[in-house]
């Protein structure tokens, strides 16, 4: 299991409600969280087999942007 961290433009609870079905439906994501208190709105994703490009694509489909900051 690895944790990928992304800088995102997920800003509020409404944004989280929008991305939730996309992230929950993606096979390979075991847990995810957005730190809304962080200025960079850090999205942390626990996964065993997904890469950052796959996560960025899921967020893009939901209408959001993400940039990998650590893996």
pLDDT in tens, 25-37: 999 999 999 999 9
71: pLDDT confidence band, cut at 50, 70 and 90? low
What residue spans define the domains of the chain? 2-70
Which pTM does this prediction carry?
Answer: 0.92
Given strand 42-47, what is the order of strands in its sheet? 29-35, 42-47, 2-8, 66-70
How far, in Å, CA of 68 to CA of 71, rounded?
8
Across the chain, what does the average pLDDT equal?
Answer: 95
List the CATH code of the domain at 2-70.
Answer: 3.30.70.100
Tens of pLDDT, residue by residue over 46-60, are: 999 999 999 999 999
Question: Which structure tokens are listed for 50?
Answer: 């997904």
* Per-residue confidence (pLDDT) for residue 17, from 0 to 100: 97
């Amino acid at each position: 299991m690895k944790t990928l961290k992304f800088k995102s433009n997920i800003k509020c609870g409404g944004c989280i409600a929008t991305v939730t079905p996309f992230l929950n439906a993606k096979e390979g994501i075991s847990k995810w969280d957005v730190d809304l208190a962080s200025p960079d709105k850090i999205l942390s994703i626990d996964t065993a087999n997904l890469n950052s490009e796959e996560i960025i694509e899921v967020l893009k489909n939901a209408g959001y942007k993400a940039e990998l900051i650590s893996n």
